[in-house]
Structure 1
Amino acid sequence: MKQGAELEVQKGKLTANKPFMLLISAQLVSNIGDWLYFLALLTMVGLKWQATPWEITALSLCMAVPMLLGGPLAGYLSDVLDRKAIMIGSDLIRAGIVAGLIFAGSLWQVYILLVAKGIMDVLFSPAKSGKLKELVPPAQMDQAIALSSSIEQITKIIGPALGGLLVAAVGISACYWIDSITYLISALILLAVPHAGKYRTARESNGEAANRSKGFQTFRREAGAGLKLISGMPVVLSGMIMLVSVLMVLQIADSQTVTLFREIPGVSEDLLGWCMAASGFGTLLSALFTARLRGAVRPLVLMSTGAILMGAVFASAAVITSYGDAGIWMNIILFGTFALAGTGAGLVFIPFNAMLQRRTPEAYTGRVFGTVNSLTSAAVILGPVAGGAMVTSAGPVAAFIVSGMLAAMLGAAMLMLRGRIEGSDETALQAVSEPVA
């Protein structure tokens, strides 16, 4: 009977899963608004206010510090509290925070609002990952991750392009208003998502939970459960180390993209938005490509290939901008390089997220993803700090070249070590399965 039910799930269409489609619809709406807001923020601070490299770095820090400090706690809360309520509450509060950016008149006001929004982001992210695990059967998890990633990248194409048009036509404030409204729409859609998904596993009783919640040591153990699970899976652990390392070195340059664009004489204000859209198109291609593979290629191979591709593209972009002038050919070349960079990013992030969802028990999804979010946030903090220092001392071109070379070297190193890591992972799986057998 169980085999027949599983076969029926595998044959069914993921799009017929109404709760999952509601979750994805909420993501689609809010993601479009987020890219409008992000482009408006960079345009306001980087081009209109002419912020220094360190001031631009501070933007990334304000968004990442809450995730770094609160990731494990938010993951733990998403595993023991109502994930739906967490997501809806986060959406409603973020709607008010983004609306507050309309009235910000100084960088310090922007920083405070970004920290507040970051706190809500850190609560929402693991709750969404856990809810996805509740709503989707294991046989369709790769397809669900690919669809979610595709939507992210489609909105990355639409959002910045639309944002560039809105900034030019009606101003920056319109982008903030629209993003605020999209959070409200997302919250309304999430109201229809069930509190407990079909694939949610049993939780401990209220009495057991109360006993376990006593004392800081118990909480620290529970919050660290995500890292303990990851450490027991060598392929996942290695993928996470590579993901964090690549993200950190790429943030040296990526956080200063607007500074690099200022090096191009006569650059247009809407060029940044179009290049961000090209990056989203490249990552969308990666999502479609990995979905068709259906696990035929090992995740570490895809991640290594993506890191090498991104590294080569970042170094090339620096050379192009240092020797070219603004114009149609410069735009075409930059669109192409950003699309390739997006493709590489998709090959790094999407296979890792799919592997993490597949191998994480549903009851621990929040803690595992909270831990990963915390570590990636550390990379998002350290990278821009190094980038700000490098851009200030040597300029954005040197920062992009160094960042690209380091990313390519990390990808090559992982390719050489992959066989040994996968062998250790198979040994660990056998050690776990033998006592059960």
Structure 2
Amino acid sequence: MDQLSPDNAGHGGYRRLLALPVPRRLALASIPADFADWLDYAAIIALLVFAWGEGPFVLALFALALTLPYIVVGPLLAVVVDRTPLRRILVLSNLGRGLTTLALIFAPNTALVLLIVFARACIDSAFTPARQAAIQASTPPELLGSANGLHQAINQTSKIAGPALGGLLLAFIPAQAVFGINALLSLLGAMICLGMILPPKPKTSQHAGLLAEAAAGISEFRRSRRLLAALIFSAFAYFSFFLYDALIALLAQEFGLDATAFGISIAASGGGGLLGAFWAGKLAGSHPMQTMIAAAAFSGSVTVFIATGALIGIAVPALPFYLVLALMGGATAFMLVPYRTIVQSETPPDRIARVFATGEAVITAVMLSAPFIGSFIASTWGTAMAFLCGGVMLVTLGLVGAMMRIITPSLPPANLPKPPARDKTATR
């Protein structure tokens, strides 16, 4: 049975969630925190490329500095997150991100900028699992889907509006001023988290070495079949997505669309992801695996459809292209929200950060190779072929997942320890 709670929170789940003081404050704190991740994205690139004349190699290093900490540092810092009161982690990580962002103002060269970006991503690799742990600790089980949908919507909005607003600010102020504004956003997030009262963590007796405790995140995936299935499914899905994600501009060009149309298509994809997050939040709480399976099959079918059109030479007009990108963006949210809901429902509270960080590290590591493989396919057999390969993989993943659900329709629920009694003051 895929249902996480006997109470389906699909209808009115967001209203019920935001009526609770702690989840409401956590969502409010996520707004400046997530915008801080993206507001200075355009400013950093503008500084590197237009001010200092850097090229593709430095931009590749910039992308690596943004992602590598989640693979090599995040699982270790998650041990500290599991040992430490969550409010302290949320406050300190926001302050740390603010200080590192402020340091960008004084960075004199490319090497130092990349080092600061790497350090900030390391701090963020602690903030993200801490937020997931806080969602688990403060949210009723039947509202976990709504909580993850809401936070994904906030994150998706910041990805759309953050770089756009940062780029707009660059027309009026220098990049260093954008960094200063972004640092203030992190400070605001820390101040909001400071007033958050979360339930106490369950006491744990073991304090093995850092590596040994980090391995507890891996052991949870061996213990829970549902958790392992969700991780494997997500890793393959994101690999399939990123086979063609970086090639959208080339596909638009093949359809005769210009740079303006490409920009609108990216906005359409972001808008689809935003709407998808809200809808996924309504479904993920009751049927997470079914939601992921259906999303893979649907997204793959749409991708195969547009790839086939490109292969046989059909010129897709702008509006249908925008719609396809919106559907593909929405499908991504239908993967992420149910996965996080499963992690929170299947993991004991004393190791939720480690499990989340381990899963993120696996998914990110698998995902990193996809753009290079997709680029090879596109350069050898054409851009449309990379989309076709990714789409076929998603459809196959959906079919295999559906068949596994038929063969083994009910995965046994995890035997989790009961959460500690909620402190009534936590909701005041």
Same fold (TM over 0.5): yes
For 1:64, the equivalent position in structure 2 comes to 67
Change (3 A) 1:163 1:257: farther
- Structure with the bigger percentage of helix: 1
Instruction: Output the amino acid matched with 2:291.
Output: L
Instruction: State which of 203, 210, 228 in structure 1 corresponds to 2:219.
Output: 228
Are the aligned partners of 1:235 and 1:421 in contact in 2 as well (CA < 8 Å)? no
Q: Cα distance, 1:378 vs. partner?
A: 0.8
Contact 1:387–1:399 (CA under 8 A) maintained in structure 2: yes
Q: After the TM superposition, which residues 186-205 of structure 1 pair with which residues of structure 2 at under 5 Å, given as runs?
A: 186-194=189-197, 197-198=198-199, 200-204=200-204
Determine the C-alpha separation between the residues in 2 that align with 1:175 and 1:412: 47
- Give the aligned partner of residue 229 of structure 2: 238
8 Å CA contact 2:347–2:416 kept in 1: the answer is: no
Partner of residue 153, structure 2? 150
CA drift at 1:68: 0.8
1:348 pairs with 2:335: yes
Equivalent of 2:297 in 303, 308, 312:
308
Normalised by the length of structure 1, the TM-score is 0.77
- Aligned counterpart, 1:117: 120
What per-residue deviation string (whole Å, max 9, x for no partner) do you get for residues 158-212 of structure 1?
3355445445666766654443332121112111113xx23x34313xxx45xx3
Residue 131 (structure 2) pairs with residue 128 (structure 1): yes
> Does structure 1 conserve the Cα–Cα contact (< 8 Å) formed by 2:85 and 2:201?
no
TM-fit CA distance, 1:61: 2.6
Change (3 A) 1:115 1:226: same
Partner deviation per Cα, 1:42-98 (whole Å, 9 max, x = no partner): 67778996944x665444332222111123212211110232222222222322433
Shift of residue 370 of structure 1? 1.5
Residue of structure 1 aligned with 2:243, choices 228, 252, 260: 252
The 1:312–1:35 alpha-carbon spacing in structure 2 relative to 1, beyond 3 Å, is farther
| Residue in structure 2 matched with residue 366 of structure 1 by the alignment | 353
Q: 1:419 and 1:94, CA in 2 relative to 1: closer, same or farther beyond 3 A?
A: same
Q: Does 1:402 align with 2:383?
A: no
- The secondary structure found in structure 1 opposite 2:33 is helix
- Cα distance, 1:116 vs. partner? 1.8
- CA separation in 1, counterparts of 2:165 and 2:298? 28
The aligned residue for residue 187 of structure 2 is 184
The correspondence of residues 3-402 of structure 1 with structure 2, limited to 5 A, is 13-40=16-43, 51-52=55-56, 56-101=59-104, 108-163=111-166, 165-166=168-169, 176-194=179-197, 197-198=198-199, 200-204=200-204, 208=205, 212-213=207-208, 216=209, 219-257=210-248, 267-268=258-259, 271-272=262-263, 274-293=264-283, 295-296=285-286, 298-314=287-303, 330=318, 332-390=319-377, 396-402=383-389
Preserved contact between residue 43 and residue 269 of structure 1 (Cα < 8 Å):
no
Structure 1 pair 91/271, CA: closer, same or farther in 2 (3 Å)?
A: farther
Report the aligned-residue RMSD.
4.0
Question: Displacement of 1:386 after TM fit?
Answer: 2.8
CA offset digits 1:309-336 (Å, max 9, x no partner): 333445566678897999xx53x34432
Contact preservation (8 Å) 1:156, 1:276: no
Give structure 1 stretches of 5+ with no counterpart.
1-5
Deviations 1:98-154 (A, max 9, x none): 345567787655533332222112111111111222222334323322222232233
Report the Cα offset of residue 240 of structure 1. Answer: 0.7
AA partner of residue 364 (structure 1): R
Mapped partners of 2:409, 2:49: distance in 1: 44
Distance 1:262 1:172 in 2: 31
User: How far apart are 1:289 and its partner, in Å?
Assistant: 2.3
How many residue pairs get matched? 406
TM-score, length-scaled by structure 2: 0.79
More divergent stretch after superposition (343-352 vs 165-174)? 165-174
Match of 1:3 in 2: none
